[in-house]
Amino acid sequence: MTLRAWAELLRVSALFTVPGDAFAGAAATGRRPDRGTVLAAGASLCLYEAGMALNDWADRDEDAVDRPHRPIPSGRIAPGAALAAAGALTAAGLGLAARAGRPALAVATGLAATVWAYDLRLKHTPAGPAAMAAARGLDLLLGAAATGAAKRTTHRGPASSPGPDTASAPGPGPGAAEAVRGRVRGALPAAGLVGAHTYAVTAVSRHEAQGGSTTAPLAALAAITALGAATLRERRGRGPGGATADPGTGATPATDRARTAEVLRPHPTRTTPTSTTTRLLRAALTGTYVRTAAGPLLHAALNPSPPLTQRAVGGGIRAMIPLQAALATRAGAAGSGLAVMGLVPLARTLARKVSPT
């Protein structure tokens, strides 16, 4: 019973919607997932669960009226334990992000601050959906900042120089910092799409306890349709295979321009059936995203009862996985997209036992 109570508090069935942010962020940079991506995914999971525990702690009085079956109002978990779990999970998330480098820690710190601000202050204000959208966008940017940043390169002085080895010099140099900024900028469009989806679903979730809103599900339905169309559009500035150039990695501006020109130069031989397959896969993933979110939203718009509204919110949460997969495939990382979609059966199975809302 205790394990089930914690599973309900942390909404473990929604956990599978989180790792895809890091992999979509990595794909948006044009790099393959690496150790930093895994660390970012781990940090995201911890911060997400911290938000879940903090959410129920902050809403314990409201839940006592609207949802007395939740773990805290039902007495299965003490409020202090939930708050302690939120603090411990936040610390763990920041610790994992720190191992991926200072840029990743900076993004994770902003993400943690947004999560705590949302749960403690902003949730019931007009800024609530925007804060949640910002948190999800920052989660994707965390993957972009961490990918490639966990690696350290050894730099030694000239052979004739008696100076010490500089391999242990702390922190990245100016070139590395610019490279990280370039990767984060390249991931901003994908972060915007994920944030827009989160905004729409969060706006619907504000009515899941009492129901009664037709406007919110209809607005979310329109947003989902627009996001699907945006995901189908080709990215600008794509290199061969769909990856974007990674700016800031060259030694000089001249070499950066030369490398970018080479990446963006037309490659007729690269336009193969693989690119067509990737486009078809992206279309299929985008269709899955729209179908997963749109059906429950339409039902909630036609009958805005609390159960159907909650089902629409759950569908919007589950739709995050195919959206992440479609964005990764759109960036040319079809393998990452398929790996992310592999989480769908796990999320569906666990959702039958523990509600994601």
pLDDT at 92 over 80: yes
| pLDDT-derived band at 337, boundaries 50, 70, 90 | very high
pLDDT confidence of residue 151: 57
Residue-wise pLDDT for 244-288, tens only, equals: 444 434 444 444 444 444 434 444 433 334 588 999 999 999 999
3-state class of 203 per DSSP? helix
The pTM score is: 0.83
User: Where do the domains of the chain lie?
Assistant: 2-151+176-351
Give the range among 26-40, 127-141, 226-240 with minimum mean pLDDT: 226-240
Closest C-alpha to 342, from 20, 13, 7: 20
Q: Select from 3.40.50.10540, 3.90.105.10, 2.40.160.20, 1.10.357.140 the CATH code of 2-151+176-351.
A: 1.10.357.140
Q: pLDDT at position 237, please?
A: 53
State mean pLDDT over 135-159.
Answer: 75
Task: Classify 236 as helix, strand or coil.
Answer: coil
Residue 239 has pLDDT above 70, yes or no: no
> What mean pLDDT do residues 213-238 have?
88
Both tokens of 91, joined, read 């610390």
| 99-135 core/surface letters (b: 16 or more CB in 10 A; e: else) | bbbbbbbbbbeebbebbbebbeebbeeeebbbbbbbb
What would the pLDDT profile of 340-352 be if each residue is shown by its tens digit?
999 999 988 888 8
Q: How far are the Cα atoms of 18, 29, 38, 101, 318 from residue 32, in angstroms, in the given order?
A: 18, 9, 11, 17, 25
Task: Compute CA distances 8 → 32, 46, 74, whole Å.
Answer: 34, 16, 12
The alpha-helical segments, DSSP class H, found in 206-272 are 215-232, 253-264
Q: How far, in Å, CA of 189 to CA of 281, rounded? A: 20
pLDDT higher for 166 or 174? 174
CA–CA separation, 225 vs 289, rounded Å?
A: 10
